[in-house]
Amino acid sequence: MVAAWHGTRCRYPESQVRRCAEPAVRGGTAAHSCRPHGTPHRGEALGAQGAGLPRTPRFARLIRPIGSILRTNPPERFAVVAREVDVRRRVQMRQMSPDVAVTTFDEHVATYTPEEAMAEAGRALEAGFDLEAAKGGCPFRVDIPAYVRKVADGDFDGALAIIKQSHPFPSVFGRMCHWFCERATPALVDIGERDPDWKPPEWKLAAHPDAILHRKSPQTRGESVQQMGDGRYAGGASGNVFERPNLLMLERFVGDYGDPSRTPFVQEKPLSGAHIAVIGAGSGGLAAAWMLRRLGHEVDIYDALDVPGGMLWQGYPPFRMAKFGVRRDNDPTAWGARYVGGRYLSKEELARIIDEHDYTFLAVGASHGRRLYLPAEDAEGVWLGLDFITQVSIGHPPQVGKHCIVLGAGSTAHDAARTARRLGCAVQIFYRRSVEQMPVGERDPWMYVRNMEREGIEYRFLANPVRILTDEGNRVTGVEFVRMELGELDESGRSSVYSIPDSSFVVACDLVVEAVGEELDLSILPDGIQHDGAEVFVDRADHRTTHPKVFAGGDLIGDKGNDGAALAGIQAAHSIDSLVRGEPVKRFDSRPLR
């Protein structure tokens, strides 16, 4: 608790205050020096934050003391300090500056404190956002109006109980969900004129400066703000638009602060007597197990890992997903399911489990790193991206040298690069295509370049690796590349790339991370489960495979993302339940979430 209370912006315990380089006031960049924690310090720090808020007479009516926002007295476990909140602006998240972030595996964005969460929840209610619309946008139909009110009232356990009626993963989803609720919340526009002097704080600018010159319309979603070629700002809250409530941060706060022991597991239906197997304890498998238990079935979960959580546990690096949150949300024994971990099942073992259970839900994900098959790939110091990150996630960081080359430009490459940086390496990411072709979905690729540069990670585009160089002891010493150029557009509308003759060059390094994605292990699938080599065939309305006793979801059926996998698991559980109880099979509109 000392760390949380030490100052509103400082997340380090007193012994480490010299590391703190958080902005002193909203939008500022100066480092502040923290003094020993205590009531006066706390009050001063909050006062300083309030003093930094932008104030104009026109918006004076929108700026209210927090006391007027709170509906009831909060619990005594924390003090409420009088401060002022601008209802147009989100309560700012506390973030480490990049130079501090690269020195630690702690999360670089801190969970709201109780005061911050209550202020943000109160702001959402006070400003009059349509939280019913937000609920309508949530694939899990979390009762957002009800839980936000509980947070504003200081009843965090009550808020947790409400969220857990819809899904069991508030700490996790509050960190990674694709903000369907926030996007469904209609914007609120103040009737006053646009504030001519308004400029977004630097941390809100998503794009890289090089991208700004050519930009004519905003390209990212959510609250990020972008500067256009003509100097205007667009996106987010640009002057007279209220910033939408930070619902992800509120859900994360509830997951982290709510007391799970006060929100006991609820069984909705009487015991059915059916035994269901769940293969894979990632988001898909665990969501299915959770819902199956709620619906009254016995559940046995099988996984290769000793710890449930799947990719959340092994894939996400800890600075992006705190492992305590993963442990908290992903505990199937708390729901009464049996967890059999530590064994990678073979095709025969899987077939036997399917035989022994009434139904099986299969969610084994894509847990195998894809190789580039470069010459000398077996050299010491060459890693697959997922294996490299996993070593850190499980607490055994690999020995690394001074210079790391990451090959690839998707999410695994970024996570691997940032992991290597935190292990003390100078890091370069090489990608064979151009920045516009980075595999980052609908997000702005320049945002990634900018974020990497902030952490001191360099990008090199249009460079294709051709071989790994080693010394006589088979240790990696460098990578040979050839330069590439863009050609004509192919059928998908993407430029083809060609290598430029006689353009090879060598970059010295002592660590290479191949991070070009993950693939399925289809060799374990029993006969009768059909696939096309990339994904297993299912009826998307009930997630049934071509095997009459097997359902499937998650990465295995091509649903990318933990939220999509969890939704598939919950829907499949309902379909299995209706089959077990002899009812018409429940069917859903289950188009992929993304």
Ligand X SMILES: Cc1cc2nc3c(=O)[nH]c(=O)nc-3n(C[C@H](O)[C@H](O)[C@H](O)COP(=O)(O)OP(=O)(O)OC[C@H]3O[C@@H](n4cnc5c(N)ncnc54)[C@H](O)[C@@H]3O)c2cc1C
How many CA within 13 A on the CB side of residue 282?
30
* Separation between Cα atoms, residue 467 and residue 374, nearest integer Å: 5
Residue 383 near residue 509 (C-beta atoms within 8 A): no
* Contact partner at residue 518 from ligand SF4, ligand X, none, CB < 5 to 8 Å by partner kind: ligand X
Binds ligand SF4 by CB under 6 A, chosen from 140, 359, 430, 446? 140
Told to check if 180 binds ligand SF4 by CB under 6 A, we report yes
**Interface with ligand SF4 by CB under 6 A: which range of 173-181, 454-462, 536-544, 552-560?**
173-181
The item of ligand X, ligand SF4, none sharing an interface with residue 173, based on CB under 5 to 8 Å by kind, is ligand SF4
> Applying CB under 6 A, does 263 fall inside the site for ligand X?
no
Q: Is 112 a binder of ligand SF4 (CB under 6 A)?
A: no
C-beta pairs of 55-62 under 8 Å, 24+ apart in sequence: 55/86, 56/195, 58/192, 58/193, 58/195, 59/86, 59/88, 59/190, 59/192, 59/195, 62/86, 62/87, 62/88, 62/190
Residue from 22, 223, 251, 518 binding ligand X (CB under 6 A)? 518
146 touching ligand SF4, by CB under 6 A: no
Distance of closest approach, residue 229 Cβ to ligand X, in angstroms: 30
* 251 belongs to the binding site for ligand SF4 (CB under 6 A): yes
For ligand X, give the closer residue by CB, 91 or 409.
409
**Pick from 121, 247, 386, 482: which binds ligand SF4 (CB under 6 A)?**
247
| 151: contact with ligand X by CB under 6 A | no
Contact in structure between 438 and 448 (CB atoms under 8 Å): yes
Task: Say whether residue 147 binds ligand SF4 (CB under 6 A).
Answer: no
Picking from 44, 20, 41, the residue whose alpha carbon sits closest to that of residue 32 is: 20
Q: Is 236 left (phi over 0), alpha (psi -120 to 50) or beta?
A: left
Q: How many CB atoms lie within 10 A of CB 353?
A: 18
Quick one: 70 or 247, whose CB is closer to ligand X?
Answer: 247
Q: Which is nearer to ligand SF4, 247 or 552 (CB)?
A: 247
Contact set for ligand X, span 313-352 (CB under 6 A): 315-316, 344-345
DSSP 175-186: HH---HHHHHSP
Nearest one of 88, 89, 79, 82 to 39, comparing CA atoms: 79
Cα gap 145→142, rounded to integer Å: 9
Q: What does the block give as tokens for 283? A: 């988001």
What SS3 class is residue 539? strand
Q: Is 142 in the site for ligand SF4 (CB under 6 A)?
A: yes
6 vs 167, which CB is nearer to ligand X? 167
576: helix, coil or strand?
helix
566 near ligand SF4, judged by CB under 6 A: no
β-pair type (550-552, 359-362):
parallel
Instruction: From 42-50, 90-98, 235-243, 304-312, give the range in contact with ligand X by CB under 6 A.
Output: 304-312
**Residue 248 binding ligand SF4, by CB under 6 A:** yes
According to DSSP, residue 466 is labeled E
Q: Give the residue, chosen from 101, 277, 561, 567, that forms a contact with ligand X under the rule CB under 6 A.
A: 561
Q: Which does 319 bind (CB under 5 to 8 A by kind): ligand X, ligand SF4, none?
A: none
Residues in 501-530 that interact with ligand SF4 by CB under 6 A: none
Q: Is 410 a binder of ligand X (CB under 6 A)?
A: no
565 binds ligand SF4 (CB under 6 A): no
Which of 114/282 has CB closer to ligand X? Answer: 282
Locate 344 and state its tokens: 């990678």
Asked if 120 is part of the footprint of ligand SF4 (rule: CB under 6 A), the reply reads no
Smallest CA-to-CA distance from 477 within 436, 443, 453, 508 is with 508
- Cα of first residue to Cα of last residue in the chain, in angstroms, is 38
Stretch of 61-69, 139-147, 277-285, 570-578 contacting ligand X, by CB under 6 A: 277-285
The H or E element that residue 300 is part of is: strand 298-302
- Interacting span for ligand X (CB under 6 A) from 51-59, 240-248, 283-291, 449-457: 283-291
Q: Are 547 and 354 in contact (CB under 8 A)?
A: yes
Does 516 help bind ligand X (rule: CB under 6 A)? no
Contacts (CB under 6 A) with ligand SF4, residues 479-498? none
Q: How many residues sit close enough to ligand SF4 to count as binding (CB under 6 A)?
A: 11
Dist CA 242 CA 127 (whole Å)? 8
367 binds ligand X per the rule CB under 6 A: yes
Q: How far is the CB of 401 from ligand X (least distance, A)?
A: 22
Q: Does 284 bind ligand X (CB under 6 A)?
A: yes
**Options 138, 207, 392, 462; binder of ligand SF4; rule CB under 6 A:** 138
Residue 359's DSSP bridge partners are 276
Q: DSSP letter for 540, please.
A: T
Q: Which residues pair with 505 in a beta bridge?
A: 481
Q: Where are the alpha helices (DSSP H) in 52-143?
A: 66-69, 98-101, 114-127, 131-137
CB of 271 to ligand X, least distance (A): 26
Q: Which segments of 269-427 does DSSP mark as H helices, in order?
A: 283-294, 311-314, 323-329, 347-356, 385-393, 411-422
The entry of ligand SF4, ligand X, none that residue 362 binds, CB within 5 to 8 Å by partner kind: none
Rule CB under 6 A: say whether 412 interacts with ligand X: yes
Which range binds ligand SF4 by CB under 6 A, 7-15, 69-77, 125-133, 245-253?
Answer: 245-253
381 binds, among ligand X, ligand SF4, none (CB under 5 to 8 A by kind): none
Q: Which is nearer to ligand X, 28 or 558 (CB)?
A: 558
Pairwise CA distance, residues 512 & 480, whole Å: 12
User: Distance (Å, rounded) from C-alpha 478 to C-alpha 260?
Assistant: 50
* Residue whose pair of structure tokens reads 């071989």 in the numeric block: 467
Among the residue ranges 326-334, 481-489, 498-506, 561-569, the one whose residues contact ligand X (CB under 6 A): 561-569
From ligand SF4, ligand X, none, interface partner of 428 (C-beta below 5 to 8 A by class): none
522 vs 541, beta carbon nearer ligand X: 522
Binding interface with ligand SF4 (CB under 6 A) = 138, 140, 142, 144, 173, 177, 180-181, 247-248, 251
Binding interface with ligand X (CB under 6 A) = 176, 280-285, 302-305, 310-311, 315-316, 344-345, 363-365, 367, 386, 389, 411-412, 415, 518, 524, 554-556, 560-562, 565
